[in-house]
Amino acid sequence: MSRRAWLRAGLGVLAGGQALLGLWVLLLPGLFWKWPWVSHLPPYNEHLLRDFGGASLALAVVLCAAVATMERRLVLTSLVAYLVSSVAHLLFHARHLKPLPAASAAGFMALLGAAVLLPAVLVWLAADGSAFGEPEPTERRPAP
């Protein structure tokens, strides 16, 4: 599989995940709240959850645009935006694991870690430009 194909597939996974999460939280905030990894940090706030759902859908739109166009700046911007969100999410929850059983906390951290690792790998794939048909970077030699 080519670098471009891996990049497009990874972007698709991120976009699909954000779309599903966004729809779930936006349309069924009470059901999302019942998830043990969420409800251990009360109080329930429907407004906040619906806003989060809308923001997740907005990020899904940007990721879908990146999948459709495979334009380097859009791909990198969407991935960095996803990374900002996922790193902040991981850091917050890493400090608030106490109410969870150890196995649940470990699973949660693994999931949140994957949400950081995948876009980081995709940024690495996109960084040199070869996935976009750009020439490989070469070393610049000083003029004689």
Contact 40, 100 (CB under 8 A): yes
* CA angle in degrees (0–180, nearest 5) for 35-40-46: 65
pTM of the model: 0.86
The tens place of each residue's pLDDT in the chain, 144 residues long, gives 899 999 999 999 999 999 999 999 999 999 999 988 888 788 999 999 999 999 999 999 999 999 999 999 999 999 999 999 999 999 999 998 888 899 999 999 999 999 999 999 999 999 988 999 876 556 566 666
- The candidate with the shortest Cα–Cα distance to 10, out of 82, 107, 73, is 82
